[in-house]
A = this chain, B = another copy of it.
Amino acid sequence: MTAPTGKVTCDITISADGYSAGHNQTEERPFGDDGSDGSGDRLHAWMFDTPDENRAEIDQLGAAKAFIMGRNMFGPVRGAWDRQWNGWWGDNPPFHAPVFVLTHHAREPQPMDGGTTFHFVTDGIEAALAQARASAGEGDVAIQGGATTVNQYLTAGLIDELRLHIAPLTLGAGTRVFEGVPPLKLEQVGSRSASQVTHVTYRVLR
């Protein structure tokens, strides 16, 4: 009997029109033009304004044993690592697990407080997933975002469970989940409404 492996999950908060971030990301505005101050407040109000009623979904965000994210989700630095940037999350990021950052520019692993270590993967999404799976053991691997990274994994058929958190606004432009992804058959395995968000969980069928 082989050890069970975890799922590859993806939680992503989107507007009603499917955007996870607006255009024009900057260091001060990691979610770009989202119609607020750019901090992602409006998309993510469900987490910050109504945490009690969304406790299960919030807890789920941190449950994976390894995470994968795109370079733009990690930070605003483009091209070579010509300045020290350790993510948007301060000294003790909320992952408490290995985080594999997709990049074209090699960099040494960056340990942080609280068990998070950022690893920089330069040989593609499948290599990153293999490393994340090895780290996670029987735990889940979470594709953390942004949407461009999620779409690459969806296109490659590598996400098992997609959890959309749909916020009550539209952005009209930006980075959109499913953009360029071939048609998917999904099984709705869960759906729950809260006051400011609708949570929908899909299993991606092969």
Q: Is A195 an interface residue (CB 8 A)?
A: yes
Interface 1/0 per residue, A180-206 and B, CB below 8 Å: 111111111011111111101010000
B200 adjacent to A166 (CB under 8 Å): yes
Q: Is A160 an interface residue (CB 8 A)?
A: no
Q: Is A168 an interface residue (CB 8 A)?
A: yes
A188 adjacent to B197 (CB under 8 Å): yes
Q: Indicate which residue in B16, B178, B188, B190 contacts A17 across the interface (CB closer than 8 Å).
A: B178
A184 adjacent to B202 (CB under 8 Å): no
B202 adjacent to A168 (CB under 8 Å): yes
B200 adjacent to A186 (CB under 8 Å): no
In the assembled complex, the CB of A10 is this many whole angstroms from the nearest CB of chain B, namely: 13
Given A170-B178, A177-B17, A178-B17, also A195-B184 (CB < 8 A) = no
Q: Is A141 an interface residue (CB 8 A)?
A: no
- Residues from chain B with Cβ under 8 Å of A200 in the complex: 16, 166, 193, 198
Q: Indicate which residue in B166, B183, B191, B195 contacts A169 across the interface (CB closer than 8 Å).
A: B183
B16 adjacent to A164 (CB under 8 Å): yes
Q: How far is the CA of A16 from the CA of B186 in the complex (A)?
A: 9
Centre residue among A172, A180, A187 by max chain B CB count within 10 A: A172
Q: How far is the CA of A176 from the CA of B130 in the complex (A)?
A: 35
Q: How far is the CA of A183 from the CA of B172 in the complex (A)?
A: 5
Q: Is A171 an interface residue (CB 8 A)?
A: yes
Q: How far is the CA of A190 from the CA of B197 in the complex (A)?
A: 10
- Residues from chain B with Cβ under 8 Å of A178 in the complex: 16-18, 170, 172
Q: Is A35 an interface residue (CB 8 A)?
A: yes
- Residues from chain B with Cβ under 8 Å of A168 in the complex: 185-188, 202
B170 adjacent to A181 (CB under 8 Å): yes
A→B interface (CB under 8 Å): 16-18, 35, 164, 166, 168-172, 177-178, 180-188, 190-198, 200, 202
